[in-house]
Structure 1
Amino acid sequence: MSMKNAWARTMAVIAVAALAGCEWEGTDQSESTSQRYNWVRFDGTYRAAANGYLVSGFGDVLQITAETIGTAVAGVSSYNGVFDNDNVVPGTVQINAGVFALTDNGAGALAGGGKTGTIIYKTGAWSINLLGEWPPGGTPIVATYRHGDASSPGGGGEPIYTMTVQQAGNSLTLIDNNGGTYSGLISTISSSGGQTIEYPDTTTSMPANGDTMTASFEVEGRSSSGVSVKIVGNLTGTATVTAATATTPSTIRLANRTIRGTWIEANGATGEVLGTAP
């Protein structure tokens, strides 16, 4: 064997030994991501109410809490009036008349407990019909809502009208209509019945029909204009539960889904995230 060939074989052995001694480590997310929330799904495309911006600036939007807008009269079940403020932000209205509470759907309709009503966002004109019922005479009728210029986009310079939610267990990805992508985790899912549920089974309290399911989340990413963004908020939906049979497991479907949260840019600017899906 020539000295040249012997040297080549020696170097090959050293190279193999070096590779055999390497340890290649991947990122282990087993402690943070899991499939434990696959039993309830928030996937879908969420759209801004009334064709507005899904992400809007906070700057000129004000919160109004428990504004007195009327007084109940015994025997009277229909009421109407006008809020003290116009330019009401869709999806933020709740009117309370004693035990009756009606909220808006972002498209001008009020509903709750089988009662109905309307709200004109531009003017603040409202009406409710308690359908043959009424609170005790003298009970204040109060409204909670936001108003102001919610038309300024808060999407890092690019208006955001829709957000597509992709869920895999507790892993969550949001993709806006401009292609901005934000990824993170669902921390908890709870029901209005009081349960915090990970793996529903025969030993776990299942949510009831009509329960509001709430998923708390935090995601991070970059907007299409390159701005670093964190979104912290909640996904909610109304549960329809189909009981298990001898051959099929129970199922839970969500309707009237909403995404609501805070848009936080690296430069300190903030905005409101608010959208709905069927």
Structure 2
Amino acid sequence: MADKPSRGLVLYGDGLARFINSSHTYLHDLASRGICGFLSLSNSPPSETEDERMVREFAQLLDSCEASLVWFMGMRAAIVANNSSLKSFGGTLGFTVMQTDELIKNNHPLSEPPVDVVASELLKLLGFQEGKTLETSQFDLIFMHIGAGEKANGQTEIIANDIEYVNGLIGSRLHLSLVMSYGAVSKDDDPSLSVLVTKNENNSDLSLLFPHQSYTMKGGNSRNNVRNHCPMLIAQWQYAVTRKDMAKTFSFEDFKEHGGNLTIPADRFLHEVAFKLWKAPKYGA
């Protein structure tokens, strides 16, 4: 376990889960090293715009209805995003807000790929520099929003192929979370992408006593409007801190079959990360 407070980096691939394939070796390597699972979301309201969906799902990740940075022991946190709605939303919650372009400075060689520059700058902001962990850092936690079709460095591209953001993000006190969502979904989406565990799948003799799953509960009461399909996929890793499960690939099927974290509500995610950073008490068991 960590003997000092950690720093956290959350890479959020908004709507990119659909684009993951076998060529994205960095994603699969992360999944094989860390612990994997799902973050459940609420159903979308009718006639929701893409910007509204983006903010609503991000708000659940931040538990913006209940949590605040003050509640998390004054955690110094930043959001890196290009979407104007997300930047405005993050600012109202007390996050420092930055754009991807702000991380790319003129003192980097032109030959250095932008994705490598961004990765290096993110680590510096968290106190990881030249292979060393500094005792102080500008931030405790950074969320980086990466959305399909966003403009990055003047070029429109689907960031699903830019898995190099994950490359090199290794440090004994870095807690890395990679979250990938399906973006806009409907009830007609692939039924195989369901996190429901039915009695038929449970071979226990106690199947008649099959309880409500914890992600459907809050404070002893059932949650309303839980979406049971197309959850966010999450893999987390920190050297000597996170457990390792049996998942080998970053995929829904592998996470459901071999993931160690199963499903938790998306609005509990920040609480879990804050605990790993020594900024909040433990959520759940």
Q: With the length of structure 1 as denominator, give the TM-score of the two structures.
A: 0.23
| Bigger fraction of residues in helix | 2
Pair member with larger Rg: 1
Higher RCO, 1 vs 2 (CA within 8 Å, ≥6 residues apart): 2
| Bigger fraction of residues in strand | 1
